[in-house]
Structure formats: structure tokens, C-alpha cells
Amino acid sequence: LDPVLRSTGQKGRWIRVAELNSLSKDHPVSAPVVGDQVDAWTKASGVRLGTVWLRVLGDNKVECFNAECPHLGCKVGFNPEKQRFNCPCHDSAFSLDGQVQGGPAPRAMDSLETRIQDGHVEVRFMRFRAQVKERIELG
């Protein structure tokens, strides 16, 4: 089941993901999450830990979703024509605010805390267990 159950090893750490002025109110923008991967005795720097979708909601307020599908962990994309998120693996669909609109996903997209620091968006990055209705933190 790797990487579905893999933890980042650094539960809920704040990670800088984008410049605030590179984002939009009109549509979500994807950003890579890059940080340290800690696994037992090893630590690797500059590892891609995941992807997030970001959208400006208002002054200094940014909405963020982990791009991992809550069904089986595929990377969810955004369809600008339909203004919704779609998972390419088993066709789950999510509204702009992350709610399930169809497909086998057991819950909404996982939202993440954000904050603005020096004109950059930082995300409290976490992963969650797939295939369950509840949000269960993996780290």
C-alpha cells in the first residue's frame, strides 16, 4: 500500500509552498510540497512530499486542499471548464470547495491550514488515511 500509508515523518509541519501573488481567486492553483522526509533513522532533504491546491478566498486568506484523493491516494486534478476537481483513477469528483460530487471517494478533499508569511503561503502539511469516511492523520 505504499505510498498510501506513508507518513512524512514530520506531522503537521509548516511548509512554504507558493508566493501569495501567484495565486488566484478565480481558480485553484497547484503547488508542490517540498521538505524533509524522515523515515526511522534516515532523513532526506528536498523531497517532494505531496501536492496541494490553493485558492485565494479573501485578504490574506487562502484555501488549501491536499491533492491526494481520499479514495486511494491518486493525485486529484482540476477541470477549469467544469470548475471542479476530478480524480483520474476512479473518477471521483469534488466541488470547488472540496465536497464529494460523485465517484467512490468516501469523504471530501482534505483541507489543510494555511498562513501567510512574508508574502508567501505556508501550509501545515499532513496526509490522511485513504478509504475511510473520517479524517485520520498519517502525519
Closest CA to 25 of 52, 62, 51, 78: 62
Under rule CB under 6 A, residue 55 binds ligand FES:
no
**Smallest gap, in angstroms, from Cβ of residue 15 to ligand FES?**
23
What's the one-letter identity of residue 19?
Answer: E
Radius of gyration of the chain (CA): 15
Retrieve residue 88's grid coordinates. 483520474
Distance CA 19, CA 37 (A): 23
Question: In this complex, which beta carbon is closest to ligand FES, that of residue 10 or of residue 131?
Answer: 131
86 binds ligand FES (CB under 6 A): no
**Is the Cβ of residue 12 or residue 102 nearer to ligand FES in the bound state?**
102
37 binds ligand FES (CB under 6 A): no
Residue 135 touching ligand FES (CB under 6 A): no
CA distance 116 to 77: 24
Cis peptide before 28 (omega within 30 of 0): no
Q: Report the residue number, 29 or 72, with the smaller CB distance to ligand FES.
A: 72
* Residue 74 is a binding residue for ligand FES (CB under 6 A): yes
89 binds ligand FES (CB under 6 A): yes
Mark residues 93-112: x for contact with ligand FES by CB under 6 A, - for none. Answer: ----------xxx-------
**Secondary structure in 3-state letters for 46-77:** EEEEEEEEEEEEECCEEEEEECECCCCCCECE
The residue ranges that bind ligand FES (CB under 6 A) are 69, 71-72, 74, 87, 89-90, 92, 103-105
